[in-house]
Amino acid sequence: MEHAVAALGELFEPMRLLALFTGMLAGMVFGMMPGLGGVAAVSIMLPFIFLFDELGGLAMLLGAISVVYTSDTITSVLLGAPGSPASAPTAIEGHAMAKRGEASTALGVGFLASMLGGVVGALTLALAIPVAGPIVLALGTPELLMFAVVGLYFASSMVGKDLAVGILAGCMGLLLGAVGPAPAAANYRFTFGQAYLLDGLSLTIVALGLFAIAEVIGMLAGGGGISTSRQVVSSWGPGLAIFWKNKWVALRGALIGTFGGFVPAVGANASTWVAYGDSMRSAKDKSRFGKGEIRGIAAAEGANNATVISDLVPTLLFSVPGGPAAAIFLGALYSFGFYPGPRMVSEQPTLLYLIVWSVALASVVGAGICFAISPLMARLTRIRFALIAAPLLLVMVAGAYQSTQTFGDVAVLLALGMVGWYMKHAGWPRAPVLVGFVLAGPMEQYFWLTNQIYGWSWLLRPGVLVVASFIVLPIVWRFIVAMRRKYAPSAEMEAVLLSGDEDDPGTGPTVSRLVLAVLSMVFFAYAAFESIGFRPNARLLPLLAIVPGVALSIFVLLREFRLLWQQRAAFRFDARDEYPVAALLLLYGLGIFLLGLDLATLAFLIVVLTRFAQMRLAYAAIYTLILIAGVNGMFKLMRLSPPEGALIAGFTFT
């Protein structure tokens, strides 16, 4: 206890508070930028931490870590583009609410849930540090495998009303997750001879591509403001009241998130989806999920913030970072000469409590600041789409590009962007793709490790049985309830039937549905062909996706053809007005490849701003130049070099 008080005193040194708040502001800005999450914020802060003393420097990083998942709510709700991958559920539910004019409720609940998550995470950190050692050690490889399986099972509640395409989407995600090195066989899969793919796809890019690009295309093509009705963020009253009603959902989310953080490599993304799935399972009326259900926001925001903070538990106890941001924090601890480990708990109690206080303070103050700036941000949504979409797209390209700084980042972003765009219009759920993608890695890794270490005896380990009960108990419970009600239709089926995706595409045959059906057929057929050459140990996980994938693709394709045959008259060329924008976007990608970022952006933005935002050429040119200067400044700050054009480079040297 006296350590806790002493640590608070240490933190309240003016310079350290300054460091904490500087970090917080940076974290908030990065949280709001789609694609630039905690990792980007922390890595940008890294060079600056040495301006302060060691406790101040660490406080700065903690400030950034703690608020990223609070401020990303703003982007997710107002723009529908996830501010960071782990807030994709918030983007789905929150943006649907914003479209109904309930932005302030969604934001209020999101902020409060984030704050709760942060505080629960900090509390856990304080309580867990003395006792968590045995818990972390009790979670063996088989238990971690079981967690991944539970996550995938929870994801099944997100498949939406069309079971076939929902599962197909999940299989696609698993397959995307299989790109790159196979953990158990030193076999590279689906890399097409590209060094870029040797590490697999980046989560940031997959999330941005699937969710955000489609939004930007829609925004550019749509004209007008972001919401059809006015986005009023004025009264926080309803938000507070509704948060209070959903406090237990948020708390459950926070606890799930905390638990996810304990386990290295589970990360905020996986535990957010698990919490979201859990909130869906525990809801009485599941039909509103995907259409703006506040419970989804409360659970997801509670979870993601709690996870990044409890990621610090394994980091501090065992020097094993719980997540990517925690990994950078660990690096900073090392460079200040702190060596986390069981000994640190007894030797450096003040440092530990300083970490706890920093995180707690940043979470609370960060939520407060978010409340304060949201009305300002909401006003932005009333100006023309294209004016916001332009910088948003630039930030996304920059955010994607910082993954490896090769053109592959931009190419994958745009390719997945096109897929996500078609999925949005065809009414295919995108969440299962992301969940499959996130869980493919841990599932495969832990399965093979478990198999190599334990054979099959792991199935009987008590820990595994406890974790498995998360799946089995609800099923048994439902079964009992169903038996009692006998002929009443089961709640489960109803949920599956009713929970739709964010957009309701209607039922008739459309170009998007046809294109996607053909695309997924090609995708799985090719994967099946390539996987023939894999080593047995590298083939299992892809097959888990390919076998159902091929079967379902055939089914969906036949179904689309039949639908087309039956309703020829109703066949629509949907989203026709968005095609020029999509084509322009692809051209932009090609332009970046050939001419480099600056020239391509110049051409792209001037066309977009004059054509879609009806800006006058002179204004458009000025705005474009400001944006290009801004993005170059950002690259400078991140110590990256912007994409260079292949053509230009070629000319200079010959």
Q: Which of residues 73 and 445 has its CB atom nearest to other proteins in the complex?
A: 445
Show Cβ contacts of residue 135 under 8 Å, excluding neighbours closer than 6 positions: 128, 262
204 binds other proteins (CB under 8 A): no
Which amino acid is it at 395? V
Give the x/- contact pattern for other proteins in 218-257, rule: CB under 8 A: ----------------------------------------
Which pair of tokens denotes residue 604?
A: 């792209």
Query: Pairing between strand 180-181 and 188-189?
Result: antiparallel
Q: For the chain, what is the largest distance between any 2 Cα atoms, rounded to a whole number of angstroms?
A: 81
Instruction: Give the residue, chosen from 456, 487, 573, 653, that forms a contact with other proteins under the rule CB under 8 A.
Output: 653
- Burial level of 134, CB count in 10 A (0-12/13-18/19+)? exposed
46 binds other proteins (CB under 8 A): yes
Please choose, from the candidates 63, 103, 57, the residue with its C-alpha nearest in 3D space to the C-alpha of residue 80: 103
- 223 φψ region: left (φ > 0), alpha (ψ -120 to 50), beta (else): left
Instruction: Give the residue, chosen from 186, 476, 488, 493, that forms a contact with other proteins under the rule CB under 8 A.
Output: 186
* CB 6, min distance to other proteins, A: 24
Instruction: Give the residue, chosen from 12, 244, 248, 339, that forms a contact with other proteins under the rule CB under 8 A.
Output: 339
Instruction: Give the residue, chosen from 9, 130, 238, 341, that forms a contact with other proteins under the rule CB under 8 A.
Output: 341
337 binds other proteins (CB under 8 A): yes
Which residues in 86-104 are b (16+ Cβ under 10 Å) and which e?
Answer: bbbbbbbbbbbbbbeebbb
Instruction: Give the residue, chosen from 82, 324, 366, 436, that forms a contact with other proteins under the rule CB under 8 A.
Output: 324
* CB 378, min distance to other proteins, A: 34
Placement of tokens 């592959």 in the chain = 408
In eight-state DSSP terms, residue 209 is I
Contact present, 315 and 58 (Cβ < 8 Å): no
379 binds other proteins (CB under 8 A): no
Query: Segment near other proteins (CB under 8 A), from 358-366, 471-479, 575-583, 636-644?
Result: 636-644
Size of the site for other proteins (CB under 8 A): 59
48 binds other proteins (CB under 8 A): no
269 binds other proteins (CB under 8 A): no
Query: Segment near other proteins (CB under 8 A), from 40-48, 427-435, 470-478, 570-578?
Result: 40-48
Three-class secondary structure of residue 504 per DSSP: coil
594 binds other proteins (CB under 8 A): no
Cα separation, 589 vs 136, in Å, equals 45
- Cα within 13 Å of Cα(57), Cβ side: 22
Contact present, 197 and 179 (Cβ < 8 Å): yes
636 binds other proteins (CB under 8 A): no
Which amino acid is it at 352? L
* CB 144, min distance to other proteins, A: 9
Placement of tokens 């495969």 in the chain = 444
Q: Which of residues 404 and 632 has its CB atom nearest to other proteins in the complex?
A: 404
Contact present, 282 and 154 (Cβ < 8 Å): no
CA distances from 413 to 288, 396, 407, 420 (A): 30, 9, 10, 10
Other beta carbons within 10 angstroms of residue 484's beta carbon come to: 8
Query: Segment near other proteins (CB under 8 A), from 22-30, 227-235, 448-456, 558-566?
Result: 448-456
Q: Which of residues 204 and 279 has its CB atom nearest to other proteins in the complex?
A: 204
Cα separation, 474 vs 489, in Å, equals 17
Please choose, from the candidates 31, 37, 631, 5, the residue with its C-alpha nearest in 3D space to the C-alpha of residue 354: 5
Placement of tokens 């638990």 in the chain = 259
Query: Segment near other proteins (CB under 8 A), from 120-128, 186-194, 547-555, 621-629?
Result: 186-194
* CB 565, min distance to other proteins, A: 45
Give the x/- contact pattern for other proteins in 2-21, rule: CB under 8 A: --------------------
Binders in 113-172 for other proteins, by CB under 8 A: 136-138, 140-141
512 binds other proteins (CB under 8 A): no
Binders in 85-124 for other proteins, by CB under 8 A: none
Which residues is 181 bridged to in the sheet?
Answer: 188
Cα separation, 60 vs 38, in Å, equals 13
Q: Which of residues 341 and 506 has its CB atom nearest to other proteins in the complex?
A: 341
Instruction: Give the residue, chosen from 284, 343, 484, 486, that forms a contact with other proteins under the rule CB under 8 A.
Output: 343
Instruction: Give the residue, chosen from 7, 33, 43, 585, that forms a contact with other proteins under the rule CB under 8 A.
Output: 43
Q: Which of residues 209 and 505 has its CB atom nearest to other proteins in the complex?
A: 209
Give the x/- contact pattern for other proteins in 417-446, rule: CB under 8 A: ----------------------------x-
Instruction: Give the residue, chosen from 195, 473, 583, 625, that forms a contact with other proteins under the rule CB under 8 A.
Output: 195
CA distances from 640 to 340, 404, 439, 591 (A): 30, 10, 30, 20
Which amino acid is it at 627? L
Please choose, from the candidates 373, 414, 97, the residue with its C-alpha nearest in 3D space to the C-alpha of residue 89: 97
Contact present, 207 and 85 (Cβ < 8 Å): yes
Q: Which of residues 162 and 311 has its CB atom nearest to other proteins in the complex?
A: 311
CA 23 to chain centre: 22
Q: Which of residues 140 and 261 has its CB atom nearest to other proteins in the complex?
A: 140
Cα separation, 168 vs 231, in Å, equals 35
Instruction: Give the residue, chosen from 27, 35, 63, 183, that forms a contact with other proteins under the rule CB under 8 A.
Output: 183
Q: Which of residues 68 and 77 has its CB atom nearest to other proteins in the complex?
A: 68
Binding site for other proteins (CB under 8 A): 42-43, 46, 136-138, 140-141, 181, 183-188, 193, 195-196, 198-199, 264-265, 314, 318-321, 324, 327-332, 334-335, 337, 339, 341, 343, 403-406, 445, 448-449, 452-454, 535, 537, 639-640, 644, 648-649, 652-653
